């Protein structure tokens, strides 16, 4: 996948995405990320990209000229352009899986009071929000979306099944409890079923735990046919 992130603060995204799993995937050539500074597309010596809103009001609005110039220079036949904005659809794992099927994503980071509406009407394919709250700039939100999408690409996690067994995996349930050594810590013991080597029993226990945890913490994720006894 190719990912272009357009923002006023490219170092925010660059730093976070250069580390850990996503950083290794870039170095291995599995993904290609470009961090685009919108100010490079300004048409004056002051590199101006914003202006006050028509009709008055607080804050500044990103101007259409640099945004059109930047996005149009990046567009290809397979491009999908996303705007990070509190007004967008709330991001979730299903959307991450959908975007992971794309071959070229362009994420435009909103800032200030937002972007000129003509950019939204003409160049944006989809608007995404992280939730009902506001951040200081869209680069933070873009980093979250990029990480959630890129980790789903083949080879990025090392074992593709890693993304299937975790929370919001293939069946949409929360992940089961995890334990590691020692088997007993401060008189708290690991469940015996995880120590007996019976993989069928372990799988059954994990599925039951996923259902119980989802029912207690996120009951809205459960569909009517799920039961703790049979897993469906």
Q: Tens digits of per-residue pLDDT, 72-92?
A: 999 999 999 999 999 999 999
Token digits of residue 76: 């290809």
pLDDT band for position 230 (cuts 50, 70, 90) = very low
What letters, b where the CB count within 10 A reaches 16 and e where it falls short, cover 138-166?
bbbbbbbbbbbbbbbbeebbeeeeebeeb
Quick: pLDDT tens for 109-123: 998 889 999 999 999
Q: What is the mean pLDDT of residues 176-204?
A: 96
Instruction: Give residue 99's pLDDT band: very low, low, confident or very high (50, 70, 90).
Output: very high
**Helix count and strand count (H, E) for the chain:** 8, 9
* CATH 1.10.1270.20 is the classification of domain 166-221: yes
Write down the mean pLDDT value for the chain.
93
Supply the DSSP string of 11-44, one letter for each residue.
HHHHHHHTSHHHHHHHHTTS-EEEEEEGGGG-SS
Q: Does domain 2-150 have CATH number 3.40.50.300?
A: no
Q: What is the share, in percent, of the chain residues with pLDDT greater than 70?
A: 93
pLDDT of residue 229: 53
Check residue 168 and give its pLDDT.
79
Domain residue extents for the chain: 2-150, 166-221
Select the more confidently predicted residue: 226 or 107.
107
Q: What is the pLDDT of residue 132?
A: 95
């Amino acid at each position: 996948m190719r990912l272009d992130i357009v923002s006023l603060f490219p170092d925010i995204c660059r730093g976070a995405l250069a580390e850990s799993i996503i950083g290794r995937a870039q170095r291995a050539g599995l993904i290609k990320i470009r961090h685009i500074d919108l100010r490079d597309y300004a048409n004056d010596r002051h590199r101006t990209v914003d202006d006050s809103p028509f009709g008055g009001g607080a804050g500044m609005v990103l101007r259409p000229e640099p945004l059109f110039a930047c996005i149009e220079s990046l567009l290809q036949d397979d491009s999908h352009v996303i705007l990070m904005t509190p007004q967008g659809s709330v991001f979730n794992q299903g959307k991450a899986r959908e975007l992971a099927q794309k071959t070229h994503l362009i994420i435009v980071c909103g800032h200030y009071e937002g972007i000129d509406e003509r950019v939204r009407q003409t160049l944006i394919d989809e608007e995404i929000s992280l939730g009902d709250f506001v951040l200081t700039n869209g680069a933070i939100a873009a980093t979250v979306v990029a990480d959630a999408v890129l980790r789903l690409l083949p080879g990025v996690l090392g074992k593709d099944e890693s993304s299937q067994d975790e929370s919001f995996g293939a069946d949409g349930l929360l992940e089961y409890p995890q334990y590691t050594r020692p088997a007993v810590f401060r008189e708290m013991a690991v469940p015996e079923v995880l120590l007996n080597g019976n993989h069928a029993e372990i799988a059954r226990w994990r599925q039951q735990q996923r259902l119980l945890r989802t029912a207690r913490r996120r009951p809205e994720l459960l569909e009517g046919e799920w039961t703790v006894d049979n897993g469906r």
